[in-house]
Amino acid sequence: MIGTTSKLIRVLLLSACVGALEVQFAEAQAQSRPTISVGLVLKSAYAWPLFVARHKKFFEDQGLTVDISTTGSAAKSVQQITAGGINIGEAGQTDFARAINMGAPLKIVASEMETLPYSLIAGKEFRVISDLKRKTIVVGGPKDVTRYTAAVIFWANGLNEGDYDLIYSGSSSNRLAAVLNGTAAAAVLGQPFDFVAVARGMNNLESAYRLIPQFSFAGYAVESGWAEKNRTNLVKLLKADLTAVHWLYDVGNKAEAITILMKETGANQQDVTNTYEMYITKLQVYAKDGRVSQPGFQKALEALASLGDLGTPFPPYEKFIDNSYINAAQ
């Protein structure tokens, strides 16, 4: 009996030592991996592939450690990329293009979403767009793509900007709150906030993707000097992101994909499920090859022109886009 007990103790001690060595080895591996910092404007469904890559360890498979943080606005993302506070920024491609056109040393290196996902959400009493004449509409800002979205939707329904009042609030969550508390009659909202609004009895009057079916909406940008010095690691990160996009489009991963986004954003299961059906099943919003499409980017430049930030003729595509990294990631 004593001999058996001694053997059991030795086995347990050996197992503990092996476990400790495995932990030490994993920690040593993590410390040896290069780290890349990625800044999101906010945690939303737009960055779903990045969240998948983190949870499924696709970054680790590429030998990288990736730190994901939030900046709070596209303007702050541009500032932090330029100053070296983050290595890669995720934001609207119109925001990056505006900064590049003004001289920022940035390049858009991959597309995240090739669909404009916003919807015009109105209070319960507003059932058609004409009901919003002379009412207050809340968009992201005077130079924000949500203002362009609102203008396109209203113009398609016979209303010009002088037919309604605009107020500004930078995030979809704040814009939703403005409609809920009566500050505004309607708002331009992204996901899952539009689904939250409809669940509370508000009305989805129009979706931008129906009027503008191809639009280079969100993407990744880098400071050109950093990108050249870190080409190999940037390509690896884009490889991991592409792997995550393909993983998302596999319907067998639906349940796990929904769980991942719920954990990252705090959204409830129904709203995330609705977002999945919209993004993955219906629209396939994520660029499968990671490239910024020229027709979609043309629409983004047209949006900038309508906001008064770009003259014609437009600068060449190559002024804004460097496809060499995503081409290597293929």
State the average pLDDT for the chain. 91
pLDDT in tens, 118-131: 999 999 999 999 99
The residues spanned by each domain of the chain are: 1-28, 33-115+215-329, 119-211
Same fold, 33-115+215-329 and 119-211: yes
Instruction: Tell me the whole-structure pTM to 2 decimals.
Output: 0.87
In percent, the amount of the chain with pLDDT more than 90 equals 85
How large is the average pLDDT for residues 291-310?
Answer: 96
CATH 3.30.70.360 fits domain 33-115+215-329: no
Judge whether residue 330 has pLDDT over 90.
no
Judge whether residue 209 has pLDDT over 70.
yes
Judge whether residue 28 has pLDDT over 80.
no
Taking the C-alpha atoms of 200, 206, 207 and 211 in order, what is their torsion angle to the nearest 10 degrees? 180
Judge whether residue 156 has pLDDT over 90.
yes
pLDDT in tens, 49-59: 999 999 999 99
With tokens 């040593």, the residue in question is: 28
pLDDT at residue 172, as a whole number: 87
In percent, the amount of the chain with pLDDT more than 70 equals 91
pLDDT at residue 82, as a whole number: 96
Instruction: Give the distance from CA 298 to its chain's centroid.
Output: 20
How large is the average pLDDT for residues 245-262?
Answer: 98
With tokens 């979809």, the residue in question is: 172
More confident residue, 171 or 274: 274
Any residues with CB less than 8 A from the CB of 67 and at least 6 apart, and which?
35, 36, 37, 38
Confidence of residue 293 (pLDDT cuts 50, 70, 90): very high
Judge whether residue 12 has pLDDT over 70.
no
**What is the CATH code for 119-211?**
3.40.190.10
How large is the average pLDDT for residues 184-203?
Answer: 94
pLDDT at residue 10, as a whole number: 58
Judge whether residue 29 has pLDDT over 70.
no
pLDDT at residue 170, as a whole number: 79
Any residues with CB less than 8 A from the CB of 270 and at least 6 apart, and which?
195, 199
Helical H runs in the chain? 2-32, 48-55, 58-61, 74-83, 93-101, 145-156, 172-180, 193-199, 208-211, 224-229, 231-248, 254-265, 269-276, 294-306, 324-329
Q: Average the pLDDT over each of 27-36, 107-116, 225-234 and give the range with the smallest value.
A: 27-36
Give the count of beta carbons closer than 10 Å to the beta carbon of residue 55: 16
How large is the average pLDDT for residues 176-185?
Answer: 97
